């Protein structure tokens, strides 16, 4: 509820249309961190969105029509939209462990479903907004395997503290986006496709991010925790079968946003270093509408690799960075490959590419695009 109170202060209006927070007070807010907040309301198994007539315990505060009123929004179908405050200055911490939320004897967790923290569904726990160009900007977020509250809940978590302290006081933001160029089919499925049968494939992308010197994982999305990133082949490569189908970069999985604080560096050089475990799970295949189960193992991977990155920023230049990385096949080592960096648009940071390739069938060809920006 605290996250919605903060949003109401920043963007909300009262019953006569006046803003709830005073302008001078709102201008004092530079960043906003939310823990397990139902930014797009609360949905349950049977009644879906909490109905407006459910007044017990003011639970209807999470009804989207009512939320739209106190958040100053005209539409009630999506109340996760932030206005009058930059969406990229908001951090959403999202819980993914519903089983550890024991309120009402576990009834709340059952009602919210497995893809939740026991109260707030994952899909409802994030914000977004529009920039001056009218582009939809998602807020940075991290997923952690914690429940909504309790002794082992998200608010008490070390993951929450580590993300929050770096978001507020760090000076570097790093984003990872996976641009998929091609995904091949297993030979048996490819044979069915070549025989003019209709083939559909769906993929799950997993990511785990860790920072050097921090024992807690900053961000994790995994299929077994119901938080993996889901894409179908038709989403990644729209178009008609048998025609050229270039990738839709708007569907490129955004794997992570992580904030770093060089003042916490464990090296005298002040370098920042992090590791991320990238996994693409063996997908489900449908052939002529029937699930294809041959040569398929649950939990198998098309691709899995631990990637280490270390960067040496220069205080006097946002684009003159030295970056090294390595893809781990065996024992852990220091990053040893020098990245070819390029300046981001506007000169506010750098980007570099890490090639991702698995040449077997099923196989993967992609580029992990890393964008590094100064963060103040």
The string of pLDDT tens digits covering residues 41-65 is 999 887 788 876 665 666 788 999 9
Among 299, 288, 127, 295, residue whose Cα is nearest residue 192: 288
Q: Concatenated DSSP letters for 14-63?
A: -TTS-BSS-HHHHTT---EEEES--TT--EETTTEEPPTT--GGGGGGG-
End-to-end CA distance of the chain: 27
d(CA 207, CA 202): 17
CA dihedral sign of residues 299, 302, 306, 309: negative
pLDDT score for 189: 84
d(CA 193, CA 287): 8
pLDDT score for 332: 66
The string of pLDDT tens digits covering residues 308-347 is 999 887 766 666 788 999 998 766 677 889 999 998 887 7
Cα Dmax for the chain: 68
Q: Is 0.85 topped by the overall pTM?
A: yes
Helix (H) or strand (E) segment spanning residue 351: strand 349-358
Question: Is residue 346 helix, strand or coil?
Answer: helix
Cα dihedral 158, 162, 168, 172 in deg (nearest 10) = -170
Instruction: Name residues of the chain where pLDDT drops below 70.
Output: 1, 13-18, 21, 52-58, 242, 295-298, 315-319, 330-332
């Amino acid at each position: 509820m605290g996250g919605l109170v903060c949003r109401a202060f920043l963007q909300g209006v009262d019953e006569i249309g006046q803003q709830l927070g005073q302008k001078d007070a709102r201008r004092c807010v530079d960043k906003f961190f939310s823990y397990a907040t139902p930014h797009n309301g609360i949905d349950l198994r049977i009644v879906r969105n909490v109905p407006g007539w459910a007044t017990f315990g003011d639970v209807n505060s999470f009804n989207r029509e009512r939320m739209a009123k106190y958040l100053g929004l005209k539409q009630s179908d999506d109340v996760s939209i932030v206005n009058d405050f930059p969406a990229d200055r908001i951090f959403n911490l999202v819980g993914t462990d519903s089983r550890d939320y024991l309120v009402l004897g576990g009834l709340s967790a059952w009602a919210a479903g497995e893809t939740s923290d026991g109260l707030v569904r994952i899909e409802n726990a994030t914000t977004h907004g529009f920039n001056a160009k009218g582009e939809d900007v998602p807020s940075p977020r991290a997923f952690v395997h914690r429940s909504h509250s309790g002794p082992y809940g998200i608010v008490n978590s070390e993951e929450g503290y580590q993300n929050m302290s770096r978001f507020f006081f760090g000076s570097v933001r790093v984003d990872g986006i996976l641009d998929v160029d091609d995904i091949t089919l297993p030979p048996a499925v490819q044979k069915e496709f070549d025989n003019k049968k209709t083939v559909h494939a769906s993929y799950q992308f997993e990511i785990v991010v860790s920072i050097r010197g921090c024992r807690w994982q900053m961000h994790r999305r995994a299929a077994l925790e119901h938080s993996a990133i889901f894409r179908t082949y038709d989403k990644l490569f729209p178009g008609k079968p048998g025609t050229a189908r270039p990738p839709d970069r708007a569907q490129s999985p955004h794997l992570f946003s992580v904030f770093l604080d060089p003042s916490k560096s464990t090296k005298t050089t002040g370098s920042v270093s992090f590791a991320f475990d990238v996994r693409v799970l063996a997908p489900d295949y449908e052939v002529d509408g029937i699930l294809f189960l041959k040569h398929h193992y649950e939990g198998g991977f098309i691709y899995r690799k631990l990637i280490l990155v270390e960067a040496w920023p220069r205080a006097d230049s946002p684009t003159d960075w030295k970056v090294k990385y390595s893809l781990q096949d065996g024992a852990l080592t220091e990053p040893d490959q020098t990245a070819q960096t390029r300046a981001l648009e506007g000169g506010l940071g750098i980007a570099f590419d890490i090639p991702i390739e698995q040449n077997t069938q099923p196989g993967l060809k992609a580029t992990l695009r890393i964008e590094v920006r100064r963060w103040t």
